[in-house]
Amino acid sequence: MTEQTKQAVPMKERTDHTLLEVTGLGKHFSLGTGPTTHAIGDVSLSVADGEFVAIVGPSGCGKTTLLRCLSGLLRPDQGQVRYAGEPVNRVPGDLAIVFQEYNRSLFPWLTVRRNVEFGLTDLPRAVRRERAREALERVRLEGFADHFPWQLSGGMQQRVAIARAIALHPRVLLMDEPFASVDAQTRTALEEMTASISAALGLTTLLITHDIDEAIFMADRVVVLSARPSRVVAELQVDISRPRDELAVKALPEFSELRRRIHDLIGASPAAEA
Amino acid sequence: MTTTEINRVTGPGAVRAKARGGFRGMRRRVTALALGWGFVALLLGLWEMAGRADTTALLPPFSVVATELVDLITGDALMTDIMPSLARALAGFVIGSLVGVVLGVALGWWRGLEPWCRSALEFLRAVPAPALLPLAILAFGASDTTRVGVIALGAVWPVLLNTTDGVRRVEAGYIDSARVYARGGRAELLRRVVLPAATPQIMAGLRVGLALSLIMMVISEMIASSSGLGNLILRAQRLYALDQMYAGVLLLGVLGWLLTLLFSAVERRALAWFYGLKGQDR
Ligand SMILES: Nc1ncnc2c1ncn2[C@@H]1O[C@H](COP(=O)(O)OP(=O)(O)OP(=O)(O)O)[C@@H](O)[C@H]1O
Ligand SMILES: [Mg+2]
């Protein structure tokens, strides 16, 4: 499933082959002699090849920290991360990330096109151009290639970040609250767009969010984290067929049921705050 | 969903055009320029009147100084004083800037160097560059080596310190992005992310370095030279040629102003992205 990029693939195939696996992950932060923050308590989870997993958890529970550990950007204190069977020491080559803060992750000195091409330096120029064009088309920004990111709205910038990720033709896409700072309407549009891109490209996707509706609407499985120090409270399967339509999905009884359960789980998890 | 739909959802004015142009902005700029030049004209007028009223001969009127300045530019002084001065200032600035950027990047990049260099740097920076002129004259004579060297020494510090700071303070989000999307290792990270991100601060250092270069040029020419604008001003003062002395000072001001203007133009081109980005915060 490495080189498939054409829309021809109807829907991702589900296999039970584990692609990303975390066992007993823990992470503290200490600032010099100051207080230490116990961000991640004990998290274990696995993501199967081709699966779309959402991680929900209250604000500040260590979701971003978890994503940075998962991707090899940050070394955990305890536990280990395996990607395709190998321990993760650096960011794997076929893993792409859409960060939470798009305005601090896109490079403001590069145009949209060059941002999208940023990860493709190994390829010949013509191929790079084509990949960027294709990625921008998928996020419907083909007309903005020569703009700078800061000339675009927040939602558009986040789409540039998504284009940069998919231009890499990754196997795994990690997204950290990608739609947290856009308005509700844009958000729905972006969720639908992202879900369909992920399906079309057969990506293994891990979406971090604190929005329960978003998690259920987009994912095959929802992992619920507790407050800090976080651990996995529950994992819930979302058995709603794809392609999903946002309004239709939200009207389903399964949806409300899942939503209520996750809500209770998050609310009930003991807040081990300092 | 169509393109227009999703792009429209982000709202009107989603694409923030470069709001710098436009009729209103233009008019505001023209007004500002007119006010600025009007005030300069007023000051020159006051100078003219004061000069004419002056009986001590310490203040020639502006018109006399201006005539003298034109004579300077069109006469021998252009080749014997003005050009050598400019060449020294620019040579010193370029050398100081290069050394400052290279050392600054090294210090910002290899943080392990800091504990070693910190005290030495703080001491060296605290020594005013002109204080080293006598030593430089002993070593290299009253030569261009001495003058350019002292100018470079004056320019190097702001460039070095700003570069170090800029390289160190690159947004952590850019570094994370680079670690995901630029797989070429540290050299690529430096070239493609750290240096561009640090450019605004490097430019700020260069701007101060340029101003210091002019100051060092004048000092070095007053002490260790028989040519150049600094020396011309001194010569004129000794001959009590006050018109020429004033003309020299005025010319220095004009040159400094022009160089800064040139620098700003270059900066605006190189950092268009930076001003665009900052323009939104206002
Ligand atoms: N580099 C760091 N140094 C010190 N503390 C940190 C650092 N990064 C995160 N933390 C702390 O770890 C905890 C978890 O942070 P993290 O950003 O992972 O939370 P989050 O779940 O992503 O929050 P949000 O929903 O607001 O994005 C927070 O208390 C934060 O203060
Ligand atoms: Mg976060």
CB contact under 8 A, A143 and B181: no
pLDDT of B159 reads 96
The overall longest dimension of chain B from CA atoms, in Å, is 84
Residue A46 or residue B281, greater confidence: A46
Please state at what angle helix B195-223 crosses helix B144-168, rounded to 10 degrees.
150
Q: Which residue has the tokens 């971003």?
A: A64
Band of residue A269 on the pLDDT scale cut at 50, 70, 90: low
pLDDT of A32 reads 75
Of B10, B179, B277, the CB nearest to A155: B10
pLDDT of A268 reads 65
Q: A35, exposed or middle or buried, with CB in 10 Å at 0-12, 13-18, 19+?
A: exposed
CB contact under 8 A, A168 and B3: no
Helix (H) or strand (E) holding A26: strand A18-30
Q: How far is the CA of B169 from the centre of ligand 1 (A)?
A: 20
* Angle of CA points A273, A210, A84, to nearest 5°: 100
User: Strand A18-30 relative to strand A221-225: parallel, antiparallel, unpaired?
Assistant: unpaired
Q: How far apart are CA A174 and CA A165, in angstroms?
A: 9
Q: How far apart are CA B264 and CA B198, in angstroms?
A: 17
Q: B255, exposed or middle or buried, with CB in 10 Å at 0-12, 13-18, 19+?
A: middle
Q: Which residue has the tokens 């020396």?
A: B231
CB contact under 8 A, B180 and A108: no
Q: What is the residue type of A184?
A: A
Q: How far is the CA of A37 from the centre of ligand 1 (A)?
A: 9
Pick the closest to residue A162 from A137, A184, A181, A135 (CA basis).
Answer: A135
Q: Is B126 on the interface with A (CB under 8 A)?
A: no
Write the CB contacts of A101 (distance below 8 Å, at least 6 apart in sequence).
B173
pLDDT tens for A18-34 read 899 999 999 998 877 77
pLDDT of B280 reads 63
Q: Which of B181, B267, B269, B282 to mutate to test the interface with A (most CBs of A within 10 A)?
A: B181
Q: How far apart are CA B218 and CA B233, in angstroms?
A: 9
Q: What is the rounded average pLDDT of the residues A108-123?
A: 94
Rg (CA), chain A: 18
pLDDT of B104 reads 95
Percent of chain A with pLDDT over 90: 62
Q: How far apart are CA B241 and CA A169, in angstroms?
A: 75
* Residue ranges in chain B whose pLDDT is less than 50: 1-5, 8-20, 282
Percent of chain A with pLDDT over 70: 92
Residues of A in contact with B180 (CB under 8 A): 71, 73, 91, 95-97, 119
Pick the closest to residue A74 from A98, A57, A91 (CA basis).
Answer: A91
Residues of B in contact with A187 (CB under 8 A): none
Closest ligand 1 atom, residue A177 Cα: 27
Residue of A63, A231, A269 to mutate, ligand 1, most atoms within 8 A of C-beta: A63
pLDDT at A9 over 70: no
pLDDT at A155 over 50: yes
Helix (H) or strand (E) holding B201: helix B195-223
pLDDT of B158 reads 95
CA-based nearest distance B113→chain A, Å: 21
Q: How far is the CA of A154 from the centre of ligand 1 (A)?
A: 22
CB contact under 8 A, A189 and B173: no
Question: Quick count: other Cβ atoms within 10 Å of Cβ B46?
Answer: 11
pLDDT of B177 reads 95
Do A206 and A53 form a contact (C-beta atoms < 8 A)? yes
Query: Atom 28 in ligand 1: which residue has the minimum CA distance?
Result: A60
Query: Atom 4 in ligand 1: which residue has the minimum CA distance?
Result: A29
Band of residue A247 on the pLDDT scale cut at 50, 70, 90: confident
Query: Atom 17 in ligand 1: which residue has the minimum CA distance?
Result: A64
Residues of A in contact with B5 (CB under 8 A): 189
Q: Is A170 on the interface with B (CB under 8 A)?
A: no
CA-based nearest distance A197→chain B, Å: 13
Q: Is A10 on the interface with B (CB under 8 A)?
A: no
CB contact under 8 A, B196 and A101: no
Do B221 and B230 form a contact (C-beta atoms < 8 A)? yes
User: Strand A36-48 relative to strand A18-30: parallel, antiparallel, unpaired?
Assistant: antiparallel
Band of residue A92 on the pLDDT scale cut at 50, 70, 90: very high
Q: Is A262 on the interface with B (CB under 8 A)?
A: no
Left if phi > 0, otherwise alpha if psi is -120 to 50, otherwise beta: which for B13?
left
pLDDT at A10 over 50: no
Pick the closest to residue A40 from A90, A79, A10 (CA basis).
Answer: A79
Residues of A in contact with B196 (CB under 8 A): 107, 109
pLDDT at A135 over 90: yes
Closest ligand 1 atom, residue A59 Cα: 25
Order of strands, sheet of A172-176, starting from the edge strand that comes earlier in the sequence: A86-87, A78-83, A18-30, A36-48, A230-237, A221-225, A52-56, A204-209, A172-176, A95-98
Do A12 and A50 form a contact (C-beta atoms < 8 A)? yes
CB contact under 8 A, B11 and A156: no
Q: What are phi and psi of A161, to 5 degrees?
A: -60, -40
pLDDT at A8 over 50: no
Q: How far is the CA of B194 from the centre of ligand 1 (A)?
A: 24
CB contact under 8 A, B274 and A109: yes
pLDDT at A239 over 80: yes
CB contact under 8 A, B196 and A152: no
Q: How far apart are CA A182 and CA B95, in angstroms?
A: 48
Provide residues with CB under 6 Å of ligand 1.
A 29, 31, 37, 39, 59-65, 100, 177, 210, 228
